[in-house]
Amino acid sequence: MHRLSALATLVLLIALFSFGNPAFLSVNNGLTILLQTSVIGLLAIGMTLVIITGGIDLSVGSVLALAGVVAGLAIKAGAPVPLGMALGVAAGAACGAVNGFVITKMRITPFVATLGMMMVARGLALQLTGAAPISRLGNTFGTLGNGSLFRIVEEGANGFPRVVFPGIPYPVILLAVLALGGAYLLNRRSIGRHIYAVGSNEEAARLSGVRVDATKIWAYTASGALAGVAGMVLMSRLVTVQPNEGVMYELDAIAASVIGGASLMGGVGSISGSMIGAFIIGVLRNGLNMAGTSAFIQQIVIGVVVIAAVFIDQMRNRQ
Amino acid sequence: MSPPLVAMHGIEKHFGGVEAVRDVSVALNPGEVVGVLGHNGAGKSCLMRILSGAMAASGGHIEVDGKPVRIDSPQDARAHGIETIYQTLALANHLDAPANLFLGRELKTRWGNLDDRRMLSEARKALHRLNPNFKNLGDPVARLSGGQRQVIAIARAIYFDVKILIMDEPTAALGPSETAMVADLIKTLKAEGIGIFLVSHDMHDVFDLCDRVMVMNKGANVGDHDIRDVTKDDVLSLIVKGTLPEGWAPRRAVA
Ligand SMILES: Nc1ncnc2c1ncn2[C@@H]1O[C@H](COP(=O)(O)OP(=O)(O)OP(=O)(O)O)[C@@H](O)[C@H]1O
Ligand SMILES: [Mg+2]
């Protein structure tokens, strides 16, 4: 129900922006939006899992940067790109596991635990690099972020190559695969059922034999790993590791989940909703950009949309 | 004589300075219904939660079938065939009835996926046994009535292989016909050899269904009697004053 109205909002936005500027609806711009949204989308998958358990993960933006730094350093030290990236994702997962451990075993609230991790991971990323970017990582490092599938280039009459179809960017494919995987786990596997149960009524879940701590640690680890994946995509797109990337990305991810119907009280949310939420934010940014709106105005608009989405949802639930 | 299904010995529970349960021992035999009575805050739920693994005891030990066991978690209790209908019902409000019924013990397909179709049909059968009019199985239980929610909690406890059933005020939210259904259910389970602890404030139900009553007063076991040895007034005196009326003798001996 919420997802339908979010989807309607998305369609409405697209119609509105295309009306204002026909270039908005081009294949190229569509792919640009997909590409721009993929990082927030990846973060939003993990954020949704965590929010459904009744928690929050403020650390994803910093973990993204730390994962990038780990990958960059590994590649600089001679590791092949795929291995370096795997290490980056593993570093993200490890940060998430620490979050889960601190929350369940040390009984620190998710807000505080992940706020701490946000600072620790950012500090580590800056310390390890001396706050300087890591560049010259080789062309392969840029493939994940800049390559695409089904790219069609034909030789024009004048001998110059002409791009018929720019191809589906790898980050978009990655986002689609991981979103589908996340939705599958959430809806079809018992871990997903337990995530909802823990967020809905933690005590009931415990009394029903759900391993509450393990379920939460699982969710935070997944969120950390996805932040790692997002870090790989972002750094690869820049072909440089930037230790100060990803600041405030956690807020976009939370906004995407909330616009998509997730409740910070726990027990409610869906991956599909969060993806729609991520695209609403992406389309707004892109459309407002094309309309020449300043980044400051964009912030204001997105902020209003977040509050409006939750307000409308509450109004409907009260009826 | 075979050992009791379950025996609790010298159970203690403290919350800081509050002594919720004080040196309580009680046993339950196969096919026996033991009523657990007491004023509000007497410690009934605490005692039951200790047996169901929901709460850790401060002292004492538990035997199942004469063998000492450790019950540290709800999973441990279930492994010994102990099922509980909690006073709080313990339902996840955002999940529907089948998801709640099978929570923690989901039915799965060959591939390990949730088998929602089978859980729905099994849940329908289990719920209709208690309330033939049970509809909206797909609704989140937050939207169901108090009685329907209670029926889900009861169905969940008896669906699986139960040997020892703990019912903490199972009929508090039920209408008369559902209450009668639960009374029938208790008789059926009893006939199957299942032992039942029934926590209740309803004297009529207790005398109708129980073989024995155990009364708690301020955390202590103040009386454990065959139901034929006591009258409602005797039990009331135990609940309120913690002692039997002056000059009491087992009613059977007198009669
Ligand atoms: N989690 C807890 N923390 C602190 N004190 C508790 C807790 N649970 C119960 N108590 C205290 O233990 C005592 C016994 O409570 P219990 O719930 O066992 O009573 P009860 O006999 O089930 O009462 P009722 O008939 O109202 O259900 C009460 O004084 C209560 O305040
Ligand atoms: Mg109670």
Residues A235-248: tens digit of each pLDDT: 999 999 999 999 99
Task: Tell me the nearest-neighbour CA distance from B34 into chain A, angstroms.
Answer: 23
User: Whose C-alpha lies nearest to ligand 1, atom 22?
Assistant: B45
Candidates B234, B235, B188, B195; CA nearest to B211 is B195
Flag if A197 and B74 touch (Cβ within 8 Å).
no
- What is residue B189's predicted lDDT score, i.e. its pLDDT? 92
Candidates B126, B147, B146, B144; CA nearest to B136 is B144
- Does residue A234 surpass a pLDDT of 90? yes
- The Cα angle at residue A116 between residues A111 and A117, in degrees rounded to 5: 100
Residues A51, A56, A58, A59, CA torsion sign: negative
- What is residue A1's predicted lDDT score, i.e. its pLDDT? 60
Task: Tell me the nearest-neighbour CA distance from A11 into chain B, angstroms.
Answer: 29
Q: How many CA atoms lie within 13 A of A139 on its CB side?
A: 1
Report for B126-135, B226-235, B242-251: range of highest mean pLDDT? B226-235
Q: Any residues with CB less than 8 A from the CB of A285 and at least 6 apart, and which?
A: A36, A298, A302
Task: Tell me the nearest-neighbour CA distance from A214 into chain B, angstroms.
Answer: 13
User: What SS3 class is residue A311?
Assistant: helix
Beta bridge partners of A148: A169
B108/B121 Cα distance (integer angstroms): 14
- Does residue A318 surpass a pLDDT of 70? no
| Ligand 1 midpoint to CA B40 (Å) | 8
- The residue of chain A nearest to residue B111, with distances taken between CA atoms, is A189
- Is A76 touching B (CB cutoff 8 A)? no
What is the four-CA torsion angle of B78, B80, B81, B86, rounded to 10 degrees?
A: -50
- What is residue B255's predicted lDDT score, i.e. its pLDDT? 56
- Does residue A138 surpass a pLDDT of 90? no
Q: Which residues line ligand 1 (CB under 6 A)?
A: B 15, 18, 20, 38, 40-46, 87
Task: Tell me the nearest-neighbour CA distance from B41 into chain A, angstroms.
Answer: 20
- Does residue B247 surpass a pLDDT of 90? no
Flag if A210 and B108 touch (Cβ within 8 Å).
no
- What is residue A317's predicted lDDT score, i.e. its pLDDT? 67
A15/A115 Cα distance (integer angstroms): 38
- Is A203 touching B (CB cutoff 8 A)? yes
Residues B21, B23, B29, B35, CA torsion sign: negative
Show the beta-strand stretches assigned E in chain B.
6-15, 18-28, 33-38, 59-64, 67-69, 82-85, 164-168, 195-199, 212-217, 220-226
Looking at the partner chain, which of B73, B90, B114 has a beta carbon nearest the beta carbon of A204? B90
Rounded CA Rg of chain B: 19
A20 — pLDDT class (breaks 50, 70, 90)? confident
A177/A78 Cα distance (integer angstroms): 29
| Ligand 1 midpoint to CA B242 (Å) | 18
User: Whose C-alpha lies nearest to ligand 1, atom 10?
Assistant: B20
Ligand 1 atom nearest residue B55's Cα: 1
Around ion ligand 2, which residues have CB less than 5 A away? B 45, 87
- Does residue A2 surpass a pLDDT of 80? no
Q: Any residues with CB less than 8 A from the CB of B161 and at least 6 apart, and which?
A: B81
- DSSP sequence for B131-161: -TT---TTSBGGGS-HHHHHHHHHHHHHHS-
B86/B166 Cα distance (integer angstroms): 8
Q: Letter for the amino acid at A46?
A: G
- What is residue B156's predicted lDDT score, i.e. its pLDDT? 94
B83/B185 Cα distance (integer angstroms): 15
Q: Which domains does chain B have, with CATH numbers?
A: 6-96+162-254 (3.40.50.300)
User: Whose C-alpha lies nearest to ligand 1, atom 9?
Assistant: B46
- Is B252 touching A (CB cutoff 8 A)? no
How far is residue A4 CA from its own chain's centroid?
A: 21
Task: Tell me the nearest-neighbour CA distance from A228 into chain B, angstroms.
Answer: 27
- What is residue B254's predicted lDDT score, i.e. its pLDDT? 60
- Does residue B82 surpass a pLDDT of 70? yes
B244 — pLDDT class (breaks 50, 70, 90)? confident
Q: Which ligand is nearest to the CA of B21?
A: 1
- Does residue A319 surpass a pLDDT of 70? no
Chain B positions in Cβ-Cβ contact with residue A203 (cut-off 8 Å): 88, 90
- Is B17 touching A (CB cutoff 8 A)? no
- Does residue A276 surpass a pLDDT of 80? yes
Residues B215-225: what's their mean pLDDT? Answer: 93
Ligand 1 probe mutation, B22, B39, B46, B215, most atoms within 8 A of CB? B46
- Does residue A183 surpass a pLDDT of 70? yes
Residues A289-301: what's their mean pLDDT? Answer: 87
Looking at the partner chain, which of B92, B112, B113 has a beta carbon nearest the beta carbon of A205? B92
Choice among A12-21, A48-57, B30-39 with the minimum mean pLDDT: A12-21
- How many C-beta atoms lie closer than 10 Å to residue B144's C-beta? 21
- Does residue A250 surpass a pLDDT of 70? yes
Flag if A200 and B92 touch (Cβ within 8 Å).
yes
Residues A88-107: what's their mean pLDDT? Answer: 98
Residues A212-217: what's their mean pLDDT? Answer: 98
- What is residue A30's predicted lDDT score, i.e. its pLDDT? 86
- What is residue B3's predicted lDDT score, i.e. its pLDDT? 86
A256/A205 Cα distance (integer angstroms): 27
Which candidate in A208, A210, A215, A263 is best for mutational testing of the B interface (most B CBs within 10 A)? A208
Residues B179-204: what's their mean pLDDT? Answer: 92
Choice among A67-71, A160-164, B80-84, B197-201 with the minimum mean pLDDT: A160-164
Q: Which ligand is nearest to the CA of B44?
A: 1
CATH number attached to the domain at A2-318: 1.10.3470
A314 — pLDDT class (breaks 50, 70, 90)? confident
Q: What average pLDDT does the structure give for chain B? A: 92
Per residue in B25-66, pLDDT (tens digit) is: 999 999 999 999 999 999 999 999 999 999 999 999 999 999
Q: Which ligand is nearest to the CA of B47?
A: 1
Per residue in B134-185, pLDDT (tens digit) is: 888 999 999 998 889 999 999 999 999 899 999 999 888 888 888 888 899 9
pTM of the model: 0.92
Q: Which run of H or of E encompasses A163? A: strand A161-165
- Is B56 touching A (CB cutoff 8 A)? no
B246 — pLDDT class (breaks 50, 70, 90)? confident
Flag if A210 and B104 touch (Cβ within 8 Å).
yes
- What is residue A130's predicted lDDT score, i.e. its pLDDT? 93
B130 — pLDDT class (breaks 50, 70, 90)? confident
- What is residue A148's predicted lDDT score, i.e. its pLDDT? 83
Beta bridge partners of B82: B164
- Is B161 touching A (CB cutoff 8 A)? no
Residues B101-115: what's their mean pLDDT? Answer: 94
Looking at the partner chain, which of B52, B78, B114 has a beta carbon nearest the beta carbon of A193? B114
Chain B positions in Cβ-Cβ contact with residue A268 (cut-off 8 Å): 94
Tokens of B48: 């039951």
